[in-house]
Structure 1
């Protein structure tokens, strides 16, 4: 049994679907019944789990040959988000230690090797640290920033012709990747007959690095009107994030992350494996624009 936590997410859905297409049994772990429709159609076994509940997590991994684990995100407005996420990591690590699968894949982030100054990415560092002692064939798949994150800015860009960003300067290329490519890579790695005692660390990014200027130019081409990139002033970051619904604590986690990112402190860890996704920025943005304009039911 292949157990996929976060199976309703952008990457998790792709992993689950790809494994099912290969004829493999998949248990899709989700939080709410409303997330399970597509997964059920693909033939997944559906399990509801509260990742803060040890009994719930232990039941989800029972009988697993392979498990895909992630650092579960919580709502941006939650003032105790980091505390809750740490509890989820501890709960998952405890359950996996007591009942280790043969194969374990952790979805992680660029910069997860750093132990300070990375804001929200520090939670991925803690996830990796918690998974490494588990007696299993462990792969840590570190992904660059997801291209799908630009969906948050599309309403502003389409309405105003301006693309705000915390990346600075706007012409500096940075690594990014499609969540679909992360899910496809994870499905392959879960089936990989890799042996060895040391954790395998793999970094994945897209076919080429892009800048905010590249994103704005691509959106402009797709929309048929100019889009201008805008690097938000550093002093305004926290206030703007709180205005759009982030708690003060969560806003500070993002501020810390982008301070380090813009200083060039987050990239591929030297000596680790690297793979590249195939999805282009244009194809991902075109899909996001189509989804944003689709009529709601």
Structure 2
């Protein structure tokens, strides 16, 4: 039995689908009962699980031999870092009680760094805690997800300008489609792990892109003229707060992009490297259809 935490997210859904297509038994862990139909339709068992409820994690892990673990940043929490610290601890305690499991834990580019990377620092903590708690661990570090740009598409459509925290707008950065991350996660889960130890795999897309490429992809998908705009650093925090984020969450993001723009977040060359097949244009065209819907 393969257990997928965070099944309702883009990566989790792709992983569950890929495993089912390969004929494997899959248990999708969801928080919202309304999400169950998506997974029962493709033949998954579905269970309720909450990373703040350790007993629910043990129930989800019962009978499993491999698990994909995601500890997401809780966007609605006023102190998302503290909330994620708690979830990491809860997940680690549950996994420690199931030492036979092969765990594929989702992480980020830059997680090897121990300071000054904002949100990515939380994945550094996740990796450190899981390394001590999980005997048979695969860390899957992904580049920034392409679909994240859909968050600013409404602004781009309204103004013709795509605000970017990537500076300058012609600096290329690694990015990847969530679908490709999920497919690789499924592959890593299904590869037999009889040995204890830590394996680290990094994934990004087939090419690197810049913010200008993102604007052009949205222009092509929407038929509208859109140009990239480097949002001034002095406006980042106020813009993020206006978008509905809390102060602590905004600080995690500004620290992240300061590190990105300084070249401190990139692939760790010591890891195994994999490359997705989905282009930026294809990923953003799909995101555009979702926004339209």
How high is the TM-score relative to the length of structure 1? 0.96
Residue of structure 2 in register with 1:132 after alignment: 131
1:78 aligns with 2:69: no
Tell me the residue number matched to 1:64.
64
Partner Cα distance (1:17, 1:66) in 2: 16
- Alignment correspondent of 1:173: 172
1:271 is displaced (CA, Å) by 1.4
Q: Which consecutive unaligned segments of at least 5 residues does structure 2 have?
A: none
Residues 71 and 123 in structure 1, CA contact (< 8 A), matched pair in contact too: no
Shift in alpha-carbon separation, 1:55–1:223, aligned structure 2, 3 A: same
Q: Which aligned pairs between 1:8-157 and structure 2 lie closer than 5 A?
A: 8-75=8-75, 77-157=76-156
3-state DSSP of counterpart to 1:250 = helix
CA deviations 1:228-251 (Å, max 9, x no partner) are 101111111111101111100000
Contact 1:5/1:28 (<8 A) preserved:
yes
CA distance in 2, matches of 1:135, 1:243: 40
Per-residue Cα deviation, 1:40-85 (whole angstroms, up to 9, x for no partner)? 101111111121111111111111100100122212x421211111
CA distance in 2, matches of 1:290, 1:80: 32
Superposition deviation, residue 219 in structure 1: 1.5
Structure 1 residue 196 displacement after superposition: 3.9
Whether contact under 8 Å (1:164, 1:231) holds in the other structure is yes
Report if aligned partners of 1:64, 1:101 keep a CA contact under 8 Å in 2: no
User: What residue number does 2:188 align with?
Assistant: 189
Aligned to 1:132, the other structure's residue is in SS state helix
Is this contact kept in 2: 1:166–1:232, CA < 8 A?
yes
Question: Matches of 1:87 and 1:78 in 2, distance apart?
Answer: 12
Q: Which shows bigger deviation, 36-45 or 131-140?
A: 131-140
Q: RMSD across aligned C-alpha pairs, in angstroms?
A: 1.2
Q: Structure 1 193/241 Cα, relative in aligned 2: closer, same or farther at 3 Å?
A: same
Structure 1: give runs of 5+ residues left out of the alignment: none
Is the counterpart of residue 241 in structure 1 residue 240 in structure 2?
Answer: yes
User: How big is the shift at 1:195?
Assistant: 4.8
Kept in 1, the 8 Å contact 2:4–2:29? The answer is yes
Structure 1 segments (4+ residues) deviating >6 Å: none
Q: CA deviation at 1:92?
A: 0.4
TM (norm. structure 2) is 0.97
